[in-house]
Chains A and B, each alone.
Chain A
Amino acid sequence: MSEEIRAKASSAGSMLNNPRVRAILYQALLLFGLGYFFYSIVSNALNNMEARGIKSGFDFLFTASGFDILMTLVPYSATSTYGMTFVVGLLNTILVSIVGIFFATVLGFLIGVAYFSNNWLIKRLSVVYVETFRNIPLLLQVFFWYFAVLASLPSARESLSLGEVIFLNVRGLYLPDLVGGAGSSIVYGSIVVAIAAIVFLKKWAKKRQDDTGEQFPVALTSLGILLGLPLITLFIMGVPFTWDFPELKGFNFRGGITVIPELMALTIALSVYTGAFIAEAVRAGVQSVPHGQTEAARSIGLRENRIMSLIIVPQAMRVIVPLLNSEYQSLVKNSTLATAIGYPDLFTVFVGTSLNQTGQAIEIVFMTMAVYFVINMTISFLMNRFNASVALVERK
């Protein structure tokens, strides 16, 4: 009997029953399949590109692009290279992402906190906002702001204005520009110094409280440093700033900062849409803190505002931050919708125009994908760092 079993064990059939052998077999099959797949698409791609006369490689990045871009943050003209086009698009993408993330966060936190208002109307409005904007496709919202709202603004001559300083018309939003003269860099530098001082102060105050139990009014002192130091330097340097106001000259405004309607529509749509999701995350975060925490904090005699900042917010952040991470990433990915209304982000100028002109689909699409990947990795890295600082530290 036992010999029979041994005899079976040595046969080829039971070799397949050995999990280790099977694992190697499966992986070898997958490797072979993938290898064949990549071999065939690469050879097909090479054949196809040869047949269509498409060059490959990254030489096109150094040739002149021959087209102009609506909005550029760095000097750019039609004689600039495709490499420059890439940089301009990338900067525009980063601009809309940062502005969008800022407004989405502010809006999201406001609406999310409004849900906990003891005013029934405010609470309902918060729910209506979230359910409305979450359930309507983002592209439709972009179109709505661009074609229905911003396109119906008055012309330049009949601009809406705020104190004759800020103007809004169908061609965009015109803001005054702050022009720094000699010595302005010292003022900027003093802001950096103030921030560094606050970080240092916070560390020192925490150490002192841990050691002696004495508290230090960090928030008030920080505010004082942040406002005081730059203000003092500002007056010592003799206010080296002037305002550049937009002015109506002929048919259009000159001077100041111009925000083109494409950028406005995209930013509004992204902020409003992502804000709805962030509001939902904030609501979930605050709800995840058990009510017993508030009661316990009250019973040890904390004031109401200290309960919020010391007990509720730190615990809610543990739930909120991972959700924020994915919302920020999806905002960056959704900013590619710029291409639908012609805001010159990376996608529009690179995957749109440059690809059309050069035909180098593979290089361009992969470069663009890599950029979004890197941006999202950066966001993820920063948010994970932040998350580690708010995460529950358990006893080891």
Chain B
Amino acid sequence: MRVFKPQEAQPAPEETMGVAAWIRANLFSNVPNSIATIVILGLLASVLPGLIDWLFIQANWSGNTQADCTNDNGACWVFVSAWMQQFLYGSYPTEELWRVNTGLVALILVIAAPYALPKHLRNTVGVPLFLAYPFICAALLDGRLFGLEFVSTDYWGGFSLNIFLAAASIIIAFPLSFLWALGRRSDMPFIRSVCVVLIEFFRGVPVLALFFMGSVMLPLFFPEGTNVDKLLRVWIVLILFMSGYMAEVFRGGFQAIPQGQYEAADSLGLSYWQKTLLIIFPQVIKVSMPNILATFIMLFKNTTFLLIIGIFELLSTTQTALTNSNWLGGHAPEGYIFVAVVFWVCCFGMSMISANIEKKLDTSHRN
């Protein structure tokens, strides 16, 4: 007689979920991996506590002068807080700072306008406001046009100047680079070669050389006796530099548009500009938006190069503060960390936005 013999129960499967399993799979999967993990953890353990101690725990937070930095084992953040106004606004007069703040708020509004405005107002109100922003903002900071107190560009500075210069340049570079990109695709040989030379020139030359061109060569090109403001010359150089790079971005965008779109627009009987602005441009913007933002991040970081020709942007102000006779305690690490964090937050934030837009605009026309 056969007797039913149940099979032995199998052991529970190896754990594949939970903390322990995750650690085993990702940190200690084999011998070299385990060694690497231990070495990295050891390094972090030897560096991080001291760093955190210096940065936060033993740091000097309150006070106004160098004498308030009593603890030598910690960072002297008093240096940053004492110079904060200079770092943000340069030597712009304190009682007129509302103008700089208004300009910054207006920038946010102008950028947000297309999202907030009803659809039919976008092209008629949003776009002209966007394009007019640099000029209105410059007039506001300057003050003469609005009957406010005149503030010479020598006093403009700090991080707000980095933002204004970068924003004002890309806004003007937008239409200009689009024209250059169109010119590069044009059938007219002379227009095409002019655009190619322009684009390749501004892309192929170091931006510092362009800034020097703006500061030492451009004055020679203006009629005798005209004195063009230094910041205006820098702005022109930045616009041209940015246009060169953006034109290439747009060219990439144009190449991504299927030929059928042009043919369809032609068969509808649209004129060249109707076809370009109503059919092609919206699609080009869509595919090139991430690259435009990447180019803008590069421009934004490159505004620090203006230090070399004596524009008082954030890094330049920091260098001045570091050599100030009241602050000769070697605060370079604190100053540089502050500037680095400010730029990092802005650039990383923009690259996050760029990644977001890329996801949002991706309607998966790709193969």
User: A residues bordering B, Cβ < 8 Å?
Assistant: 23, 26-27, 30-31, 34, 40-41, 44-45, 47-49, 51, 118-122, 125, 131-132, 134-140, 143-144, 147-148, 151, 329, 332-334, 336-337, 339-340, 347, 351, 355, 361-362, 365, 368-369, 372-373, 376-377
Name the interface residues of B186-220: CB closer than 8 Å to any CB of A: 187-191, 194, 204-209, 212-213, 216-217, 219-220
B205 touches A121 (CB 8 A): no
Give the contacting residue for A376; candidates B204, B223, B308; CB below 8 A: B204
- What are the 10 closest A-B residue pairs judged by CB atoms, nearest first? A120-B26, A135-B347, A333-B206, A41-B221, A137-B301, A27-B190, A137-B304, A336-B208, A361-B216, A336-B206
Contact yes or no, B336 A144, CB < 8 A: yes
Query: Chain B contacts of A347 at CB under 8 A?
Result: 206, 208-209
- 17 interchain pairs, CB-CB under 8 A: A26-B188, A27-B191, A31-B190, A44-B221, A45-B220, A47-B223, A119-B27, A119-B36, A119-B37, A121-B40, A135-B347, A144-B332, A337-B308, A362-B217, A369-B209, A373-B204, A373-B205
| B343 adjacent to chain A (CB < 8 Å) | yes
Complex alpha-carbon distance, A138 and B315, angstroms: 11
Instruction: Tell me the minimal C-beta distance from A115 to chain B in angstroms.
Output: 14
Say which residue of A48, A132, A373 sits within 8 Å of B224 (CB atoms): A48
* CB atoms of B204 and A372 under 8 A apart: yes
How many whole Å from A379's CB to the nearest CB in chain B?
11
CA distance A144 to B339 in the complex (A): 11
Is A365 within 8 A of B351, CB to CB? no
Establish whether residues A137 and B343, one from each chain, have CB atoms under 8 Å apart when the complex forms: yes
Instruction: Tell me the bound Cα distance from A45 to B213 in angstroms.
Output: 13
Chain B residues within 8 Å of A136, by CB = 301, 340, 343-344, 347
Closest to A329 in B: B204
Verify B206–A334 contact, CB threshold 8 A: yes
| Cα separation A101 to B190 with both chains bound (whole Å) | 37
The distance from the CB of B211 to the nearest CB of chain A, in whole angstroms, is 10
Q: How far is the CA of A140 from the CA of B315 in the complex (A)?
A: 7
Does B29 have its Cβ within 8 Å of any Cβ on chain A? yes
In the complex the two chains form, is A118's CB within 8 Å of B343's CB? no
Within 8 A of A (CB), among B298-317: 301-302, 304-305, 307-308, 315
Task: Give me the interface of B with A, judged by CB distance under 8 Å.
Answer: 26-27, 29, 33, 36-37, 40-41, 187-191, 194, 204-209, 212-213, 216-217, 219-224, 297, 301-302, 304-305, 307-308, 315, 319, 322, 332-333, 336, 339-340, 343-344, 347-348, 351
Residue of B whose beta carbon sits closest to that of A144? B336
On whether the beta carbons of B188 and A27 are closer than 8 Å, the reply is: yes
CB distance from A193 to the nearest CB of B (A): 38
Given A44-B224, A138-B301, A365-B216; 17 other pairs, CB 8 A cutoff: A23-B187, A135-B347, A135-B351, A136-B343, A137-B301, A139-B315, A140-B336, A144-B336, A148-B333, A333-B205, A334-B206, A339-B208, A351-B212, A355-B212, A362-B220, A365-B217, A372-B204
From B26, B188, B302, B348, give the contact of A137 (CB < 8 A): B302
Q: Residue of A at shortest CB range from B226?
A: A44
Alpha-carbon distance A34/B40, docked complex (angstroms): 61
Collect the chain B residues with CB atoms within 8 Å of residue A26's CB. Answer: 188, 191
Closest to B25 in A: A118
Chain A min CB distance to B223 (Å): 5
Q: Are A119 and B347 in contact (CB under 8 A)?
A: no
Closest beta carbon of chain B to A310's beta carbon, Å: 24
User: How far, in angstroms, from A369 to B347 measured CA to CA in the complex?
Assistant: 29
Minimum CB–CB distance for B247 against chain A, Å = 15
Closest B residue, CB atoms, query A45: B220
Given the interface pairs A119-B33, A336-B208, A351-B209, the reply to whether A48 lies near B315 with Cβ below 8 Å is no
| Contact status of A121 and B36, CB under 8 A, knowing A44-B220, A45-B221, A351-B209 | yes
Given contacts A139-B304, A365-B216, A373-B204, contact A23 B188 (CB under 8 A): yes
Q: Which residues of A contact B222 (CB under 8 A)?
A: 44
Q: Is B305 in contact with A139, judged by CB distance below 8 angstroms?
A: yes
Contacts A119-B33, A137-B302, A336-B206 given; does A132 touch B336 at CB 8 Å:
no
Q: Give the residue among B188, B206, B224 with the most A Cβ atoms within 10 A.
A: B206
Give the residues in chain B near A125, CB-CB below 8 Å.
Answer: 40
With contact pairs A45-B221, A118-B33 given, residues A333 and B344 touching in the complex (Cβ less than 8 Å): no
Q: In the assembly, what is the distance between CA of A131 and CA of B194, in Å?
A: 38
Question: Given known contacts A140-B304, A140-B340, A347-B206, is B26 in contact with A119 (CB within 8 Å)?
Answer: yes
| Cβ contacts under 8 Å, B26 to chain A | 118-120
**Complex: chain A residue closest to B306, CB-CB:** A139
